[in-house]
Each structure stands twice: as structure tokens, then as C-alpha cells.
Amino acid sequence: MLVTENGTAKKMSAESFKDVRRSGIIAIRLDKGDALKTAVLVEKGDDVILGTATGQSIRFKESDVREMGRTAGGVRAIKISKSDNVVGVGVIKKDEEAAFLTMSEHGLGKKTKVKEYKTQKRGGSGIKTAKVTPKTGKLIIGRLVRDETEIIAVSKKGQIIRTSLDSVPSLGRQTQGVTVMKLRAGDSIASLACL
């Protein structure tokens, strides 16, 4: 499944990429101003969860997105405003005990158990995944965590921390999280990796 920053999703068979030329092949037709955010492997029975910069999220069944050809554009996965964008995508296996990790540009983070996200139909506005305020800044990361034990966060000005994932608390969807990384004035989170 391919997901774009503007909330479009497209599901394709892996067979579509069996014979890829050296120059590449078209995988999705993008609308003007849109960009591919991520590609994830989905199987029958999986759920897909998306998080956006303004703190919205949606969880839907992979079967809500029909399989398409390579040149198709996809369907709406989540309805978002022009000033919003998808920041994270995860695949939830049946009865899985995972958590959705979110982190904002000002270094606040939290984990929320996936059972707090009800399964909806794709294409809606979704539900709140984090409280976004001027203090937190927009969300820049949304990803599923399972057996990972550590996170590494990097700021735009090159500051880096490595900390235990256990130090990031499990909180409800309506909360903003706690300070995971203290940043200098004018700095913000650039990226995060889980180990």
C-alpha cells in the first residue's frame, strides 16, 4: 500500500513490481502538490493507521482500499485540510498489542495503545491522536512500535539523543505527551528511529 502526504492510499499487488526496468516504473499517479509519504506491506486482515501533523488519525481495514493498477491515482484514506499532511503510517496485524508513537516538532512524545483507535471506514476525518498546541508544535512522526526498546531522535540543528522507549509514557489519545528531547531555541525535531 502506498500513502501520500495529502492522505491518498493505493493498494497494489507485489506482482506489479516483478519486472522493474533499470529506469524504474510508475507506481502511482500523484496529484499536483502531493508527494509519496511511504509504502507499507499489507496482508489480508490487516488494519492501516495514519497520523497527521495536526494530530488527527484514522484506522481502517486494508480491504477498504481495492487493488489497483500501477498508473491509477488511489483513493482518499483520510480527509485533511490543505495545511495538514500525513506524517506516519503503520500496519496493525490482527489482535496485535502494538502502540502508536507520536512526536511533535518541539520534542514532546507519547505512546498510545492501538486498541484506543477504533476501526473506521477510510476517507473520513478520523479521530484525535494527540493534542497539538503552540507549545508542542505540529506532529512530525507517527509510527507503530512493538518490540523496540530504544529511540534515537535527531534535531534539525544536529542535536541527537538516544533513550529507552520505556521512558516515553503510554498516554491517551487526547494528551500532548511529555518532553522526550529538550531543544535549544529555534531548533526542532527532524527525525526519529526506533531500535
Each residue's pLDDT tens digit, 106-126: 999 999 999 999 999 999 999
Give me the mean pLDDT over the 2-7 stretch.
98
Which pLDDT belongs to residue 149?
A: 95
Report the range of poorest mean pLDDT among 92-96, 136-140, 159-163: 92-96
Confidence at residue 21, expressed as pLDDT on a 0 to 100 scale: 87
Grid-cell match 490482527, residue found:
94
| Mean predicted confidence (pLDDT) in 1-22 | 93
pTM of the model: 0.93
Q: What are 175's three cell numbers?
A: 494528551
Residue 90: pLDDT over 90: yes
Where are the strands (E) in the chain, listed by range?
2-4, 8-10, 36-39, 47-52, 56-61, 75-76, 86-92, 99-104, 108-113, 127-128, 139-145, 150-155, 160-164, 178-179, 189-194
Q: Give the span between the Cα atoms of 85 and 140, in whole angstroms.
A: 10
pLDDT band of residue 166 (cuts 50, 70, 90) is: very high
Q: Is 124 exposed, middle or buried (0-12, 13-18, 19+ CB in 10 A)?
A: middle
Give the pLDDT score at 19. 85
Question: Which residue shows C-alpha cell 509504502?
Answer: 39
> Which pLDDT band holds residue 20 (cuts at 50, 70, 90)?
confident
Tens of pLDDT, residues 36-56: 999 999 999 999 999 999 999
Residue 7 CB coordination number (10 Å): 25
